Amino acid sequence: MPNDPGPPPPEPRLWRAVPRGPVLHFAPHPDDEVAGTGGVLAMHRAQGDAVHVVVATDGIAGDPDRKFAQKDYAERRRAESRNGLAEVGVDQVVFWGFPDNCELSAADVELGVQSAVRELERVRPAVVYLPWEREGHPDHHSLFVIVTTAIARAGWCGWALGYEVWNAMVPDVIVDVTAFVEQKRRGMLAHESQLEYTRYDHCMLGLSAYRSMVHLKGRGYGEAFRVVASPPGAAI
């Protein structure tokens, strides 16, 4: 058939639980950690997993209209991140403080890779969360490159799961986060400076509601993931 795009992608698998063990989450900006994976992070904490979050940039590009005092804006973003993570039960967060929304040089990328390798060696995670490979924001894409390079360099083996914020994906896995969606909502509402610009809580909860369509018949909420890496012999 002319212009046949090939067969449709396989139906994503439904996970009602997440892999057990220590978690290392990489977020490009303060708020991506709860926007992309707030439900899953709450699920990990509910099953007793240690969760460590890395926020890569200082988030200062999040106030283009200068609505807030600039001298302490980066600290405001960090405080919002801590408060949002507290809503999903997470209190372990590291802020790299890299510049927000900048074009990275090869040296910048290498610095990020070295930082990510140190976190992998420090946490020794069973599960890593990172932006998926086709995120539209350049900081998100850069962090995908940094983390995947670090995973290869460190020789780390485990689950690496890419999450969506800026661009919806064709997922490999949907995680049922219905029981944790109110924690996710509260986590996003903690980012008051960002809600001044965009009601991203409305958008991300709408995306989570959409992710319930296939397996949950539109009754509940899901978070979608691409499998970047998996343990040897593991089945999705």
Tell me what percent of the chain is helix, strand and coil, each rounded to the nearest 5.
Answer: 45, 20, 40
Query: pLDDT digits over 39-94, tens only?
Result: 999 999 999 999 999 999 999 999 899 999 999 999 999 999 999 999 999 999 99
Structure tokens at 77: 């973003």
Question: Above 80 in pLDDT, residue 2?
Answer: no
Q: Which domains, and CATH codes, for the chain? A: 19-229 (3.40.50.10320)
Instruction: Give the amino acid at 38.
Output: G
pTM across the whole model:
0.96
Mean pLDDT confidence for 168-186:
98
